[in-house]
Every structure is written in structure tokens, then in C-alpha cells.
A and B are shown apart, each in its own frame.
Chain A
Amino acid sequence: GAGVSQSPSNKVTEKGKDVELRCDPISGHTALYWYRQSLGQGLEFLIYFQGNSAPDKSGLPSDRFSAERTGGSVSTLTIQRTQQEDSAVYLCASSSRSGNYGYTFGSGTRLTVV
């Protein structure tokens, strides 16, 4: 597609439920990143994919968080047993090569855990 697409754009869920966030990167972009922005905070790195592999998962806050990428394209970020502190905007970005250049961000998923 023309840009990075994320769905849903908004998600309200009850504490304890599982949620799945989806990211469709720009076609042909091999690198994919997940960040999140909590209220009043900067963007916090979560995980990086190169192709279908995740060489760096160091930013995932806990084992309730997992992510996968299939076909070198779509990625899903899953949060199990959501907690209120998981409320944030989750942003996905892709780039055509590994490195900090040419990140294109999606519009994000605003997750609210009530």
C-alpha cells in the first residue's frame, strides 16, 4: 500500500482481556518496528523485525506482550491479560532497510484498557 496501515485505530478493552493490533507495512519494506506512546511520554521502542525475524525484542514490557510477522509483511502485536498501564498509542513503522533512516509511521492504534 501507499503507507503504513494500522488497525484498529481505536480499541477499548476490559482489563484482563487479550487484544491484537495489526500493522500493514509499506510493500517491500523489510524492516518493521513497534513503538508505543504513553500519556506524556516519548515514543518507547518495543520490537524490531527484519523480515520475519525479530532480532530485538528488548523493549517488550513483559511476557504478556508478543509480536509476530508473517510473509515479511503483516505484523500483529498481541497483549494478553491487558492491564490499565497498557493504555497507550501503539505505533508501527517500516523502512526499506535496516537502520534509522526512512522510517514511515502508521497512524497508530489508541488502546484504552478500562
Chain B
Amino acid sequence: DQQVKQNSPSLSVQEGRISILNCDYTNSMFDYFLWYKKYPAEGPTFLISISSIKDKNEDGRFTVFLNKSAKHLSLHIVPSQPGDSAVYFCAASGHDYKLSFGAGTTVTVRA
């Protein structure tokens, strides 16, 4: 039972433009959301997170938006750079230690 869904397996964007990655979740007990970035042959690395008490969190070029009523979050990358080409995983958790991950979105930034 996939509680976190990333419906777009891939995204191609031109360098300098905005990348928007989407994520939906089904478990209303989730209250903490994270995005991880993964390069080939490496483990996922933490990128940005947001607590359910907020609807936006910004860190440099990366902004995460949370819409609790829609059980939807998104990651915006502005401007996109070639080094942003990677797989991005959305993850969520409730009041425990376990993260539930989406299937990932592969982002390709074209020069």
C-alpha cells in the first residue's frame, strides 16, 4: 500500500527554468515531510523538509510547499542547474521513526 506517491517518474527542464516536483500522500497522520536527492551509485541525501504546521519552507533555490487539505506537497527548484539532475524522493512520517518514501522522480536539467 503506497502511502506516498510521486506520479511523475521523470521530468526534463531547461537550465535556468523552474523544476516543479509533486508528491501526494494518503495517511492523514503524517506530519513531517522531506525531500531527498539521489545521484547514481550514491545513497539518498537530505535536501529540505517541512513540518505540517507550515505551508512553505525555503532554502536557497529550493522551496517546499505543503497543502494539508489536499494531502499534497511540491518541491520547486529555481533556477534549475545541471547539477540538479538526479532522482528526487518525497518522504513522510508521523510520530515515529519510520519514513515512507515515494517511488522517485528523475530530473534531467538540459543545458
Q: A residues within 8 Å of B by Cβ?
A: 4, 9, 31, 33, 35, 40-45, 48, 56, 91, 93, 98-108
Contact = CB atoms under 8 A, between A and B. Distances in A.
Given A42-B102, A98-B97, A107-B42, 15 more contacts: A9-B41, A40-B9, A42-B6, A43-B44, A43-B91, A45-B98, A56-B98, A91-B44, A99-B97, A100-B99, A105-B43, A105-B44, A105-B45, A107-B41, A108-B43
B32 interface: yes
A37 to B, nearest CB: 8
Given A42-B104, A100-B32, A100-B93, A48 B44 contact: no
Interface in B1-50: 2, 4, 6, 9, 32, 34, 36, 41-46, 49
B9 to A, nearest CB: 8
Given A56-B98, A98-B97, A42 B89 contact: yes
Closest 3 pairs (CB-CB, A-B): A105-B43, A43-B101, A42-B101
A4 B42 CA distance: 11
Contact of B99 (A41, A103, A106): A103
Interface of B: 2, 4, 6, 9, 32, 34, 36, 41-46, 49, 89, 91, 93, 96-104
B46 to A, nearest CB: 7
B106 to A, nearest CB: 11
Nearest to A97: B97
A91 B104 CA distance: 15
A100 B34 contact: yes
Contacts of A35: 101
12 contacts: A4-B43, A42-B2, A42-B89, A43-B91, A43-B99, A100-B32, A100-B91, A100-B93, A105-B36, A105-B44, A107-B41, A107-B43
Name, among A56, A100, A104, the residue most crowded by chain B CB atoms within 10 Å (CB to CB): A100
